[in-house]
Amino acid sequence: MKQNLKIFLIYFENLLFVLLFYFSCNAQNLQPTHISKRTNENFDSNWQFHKGDIAMKLVARVGQGGITDINVPFINKKDTVIDYSNFKSSASFFPPDWKEINLPHDWAIEGNFVEDNTLGSQPGGSGYLPTGIGFYRKEFVIPESDRGRKISIEFDGIFRNSMVWVNGHLMGTHLSGYTPSNYDITDVLRYGNEDNNAILVKVDATQPEGWWYEGAGIYRHVWLVKTDKLHVVRFGTYVTTPSITDTEASVSIKTTLKNEYKTDKNIKLVSKIIDIKGLVLDAKISNLTLTSFEQLEIAQMATIIAPKLWSPEIPTLYKILTEVYEGERIVDTYETTFGVRIIEINKDGVFVNGKLCTVKGTCNHQDFAGLGVALPDKINWYKLKLLKEVGSNGYRTHHPSTPEMLDMCDSMGILVLAENRHLSSSEDGLKDLTTMLYRDRNHPSIFIWSMENEEAIQGTVMGARILETLVETTHRIDPTRKVTAAMNKARNEGGYSDKLDVLGYNYGDKQLAYVKDKEAHPERVVFCTEGTSFVSTRGEYEISWWPQTCSNSTIWQPNWGPYPGEDWADIVKYPYLGGLFVWTGFDYRGEPTPFIWPSVSSQFGFMDLCGFPKDGYYAYKAAWTIEPVVHIFPHWNWAGKEKDTVNVHCYTNCDEVELFLNGKSVGKQKAIPYKKLIWSLIYKPGKLEAKGYKGGKLVTKDIVETTSKAAQVVLSSDVNSLKADGCDVAVIRVVIKDDKGRVMPTANNLVNFEIEGPGKIIGVGNGDPKSHESDKANQRMAFNGYCMVLVQSTKQVGEIRLKALSENLKATEIRIKVE
């Protein structure tokens, strides 16, 4: 009772403060008479793309400093120099050389597969899709009303090695394909009736950064950012919660402001804490003077009464609304999403808000079927949704990720291990690291930083010196989180491992290396940053070098990992390991282990490139959820093997499972946690049924039947309606079934798609790791019964009608509203 009274009194005091603040603002006339807020304009539409290089020519330009010589992209047409980086040349374009596109865009996925083992950093690393050089160009208008504002352009991700010109002026270069780049273009713009502006971007994706498919092009969003000359700087807020109790949470707000006027400015900084309902919970005011061209960090402390904590189960979010006043005018606004939570990683495990929170994670690359790496926001959400459905609460990036995906992890309650791409203390290496840290440190989903993954100099004396620099840099910018590295060997030359707060193990289950290390060094904090690596081809149950297939039933190559789910037994037995990131949640292009050509994608995922589950998916669903699971495999279409012995496998979290063939019991087995069950029986066509029992009661079952021949195509969409925004996407699963509606598990029929209405097909796929079909087509062969088509809305309302047709099969149609 006393505790509730205390909470009420604190809440009342805080409410009183907010009301006084409101009336104070009115009294000081701070309800703005004019607002000059920042704008973040999506800049994805109406680009032109040219595949291939364009010559560079040294030309004379007249600038403020006189005549200068600079390199510009050009092409000769009847002895005329066409400067692609400048608007005035646009009428001279060759239409066939440039095509109209919208971003995000990955030109590599549009190409043809080439049997060339020199592509990528290792044979098959790029997925046998050539990259090369490409150019992007866009014309745009800046109104006269924007004269005097600061205008910059933000690229969330270009793969890679980009150069940017605006109106013929080289603005800069950026090497990394994973960190954002930003250019202040204020001085080189044309305003109002001065003429159109032109931006040109050269992308050179020739050299890889990793050993997987990385795509090519401007594959993330682009933003045109407009602010006052008095503004919050890029990534200019840092929000932490240094003290949290049941009754209140203190909120530290650090805001960096910059005055780019030639005169000093007296300003008022207002920071408001807002909950999900839009209610202002607290507000802080700071009055100060910023001298001309001064940049300053302002610290404020606020309070949330009876805070709702962020956790994977209940991911409650708050927002800081930053308002910068000059006199009565709001000159800038800035929003920062954050969560209130206590994350502790210690020698006993990972704890969220004081409770042990074992991380059920997956490692993932960023590509998807039909799209390459140029994913609409909806597809990132769809991938995370599929992972949540299997029971996952953790996501490990292999490089700085797209910011929208981190926003989704915040709102969905997914713990993120955020990883720096390169172990490098060079100028570029440190810039990439610090950019990731400043951009992402407010995300409550990020629970730990990783400095690198399996770098060649990992665990060496030189590597230790570089690592120490990266760790110290990270601690300086974000002292609230611990730092790890994903190590495939627990080497400690030069004290490499000792530089880390948390020792990350890749495949530490091999001979229980992480357990032995913990026993030898009980003070160490350890975590399983990567495990499993079970390769399998969806729907295949035989090992073959030709055709190249990996069985879902048997470990083959590589041999460093266990069966799906088995490594989870170590996490349960040794909770100090903190959790596990499975390699991987989804298949990804490139790294087609254990094969090379004609395989073009990996087979490590427990879902394929389309997100269709493999059998190993159910091992983790059984381990990670309380939902009763019984999953039996293989399929039961084995014509010609009627006298052969077939092993039936089962993943389950039940106490016991009884298997029946055509109604007759084959036997009941007691389940061993995280181990699959196996029955050997003579194949007979018909019906396999597995019944799962808990506490002696039937709780679930699974049925696999011998099907008849393929008879129909069936479509199912993940949504019934789309937004008319030109961005929203429907993921449509295509299934080949027999006349009784059962999935035909070996079907490979070619399916053609016809679309009408306000939508377009943006990609197709089927999860076959050796398919060389185009991902940008209106047709796709089914692979073991399934394929997929992605449909994107336009900006018009109406109804999309998608029809699927296949020879000798009953056609089908699906309708999706666009609203």
User: 667-694 burial, b for 16+ CB within 10 Å, e for fewer?
Assistant: eebebeebebbebeeebbeeebbbbbbe
Pairing mode, strands 133-140 and 798-805? unpaired
Please say whether the beta carbons of 486 and 529 come within 8 A: yes
Give bridge partners of residue 418 from the DSSP assignment: 449
Please report, as a single letter, which amino acid is at residue 412. M
Of these residues, 154, 294, 344, 454, which one is catalytic? 454
Instruction: Give the whole-angstrom CA distance, residue 241 versus residue 51.
Output: 48
Tell me how crowded residue 39 is: count the other CB atoms within 10 A of its CB: 14
Strand order across the 687-694 sheet: 664-670, 656-661, 687-694, 697-705
- In the chain, count of helices (H) and strands (E)? 8, 50
The length of the chain in residues reads 819
**In this structure, which long-range contacts are made by residues 40-44, counting pairs with CB atoms below 8 Å and at least 24 apart in sequence?**
40/223, 40/224, 40/225, 41/223, 41/224, 41/225, 41/226, 42/221, 42/222, 42/223, 43/103, 43/138, 43/140, 43/153, 43/221, 43/222, 43/223, 43/224, 44/102, 44/103, 44/104, 44/221, 44/222
Q: 3-state DSSP call for residue 382? A: helix
Short-list 818, 819, 765, 813, CA closest to 790: 765
What is the DSSP track for 97-160? G-EEE-SS--SGGGS-----TTSSSSTTTTTT----EEEEEEEE-B-GGGTTSEEEEEES-EES
Of these residues, 110, 530, 566, 658, which one is catalytic? 530
Instruction: Give the whole-angstrom CA distance, residue 208 versus residue 127.
Output: 12
Instruction: Give the whole-angstrom CA distance, residue 625 versus residue 614.
Output: 17
What is the 3-state composition of the chain as percent helix, strand, coil, each rounded to the nearest 5? 15, 40, 40
335 catalytic residue (yes or no): no
Cα angle value 432/436/437 (rounded, 5°): 115
Cβ partners under 8 Å of residue 476, min gap 6: none
Instruction: Give the whole-angstrom CA distance, residue 332 versus residue 717.
Output: 42
355: its two tokens: 């409770």
472 catalytic residue (yes or no): no
User: 22-31 burial, b for 16+ CB within 10 Å, e for fewer?
Assistant: eeebeeeebe
Residue found under tokens 């929000």:
239
Which residue intervals of 480-615 are DSSP H helices? Answer: 513-520, 568-573
Residue found under tokens 């590599």:
108
Instruction: Give the whole-angstrom CA distance, residue 699 versus residue 694.
Output: 7
Cβ partners under 8 Å of residue 185, min gap 6: 151, 152, 153, 166, 171, 199
Short-list 204, 202, 215, CA closest to 110: 215
Short-list 406, 403, 379, CA closest to 395: 406
636: its two tokens: 């039961």
**φ, ψ (nearest 5 deg) of residue 383:** -65, -45
Q: HEC profile for 428-464? A: HHHHHHHHHHHHHCCCCCEEEEEEEECCCCCCCHHHH
What is the DSSP track for 153-222? EEES-EES-EEEEETTEEEEEE--SSS-EEEE-GGG--BGGG--EEEEEEEE--S-SSSS----EE-S-E
274: its two tokens: 């807002």
Q: Which residues belong to the active site?
A: 454, 530
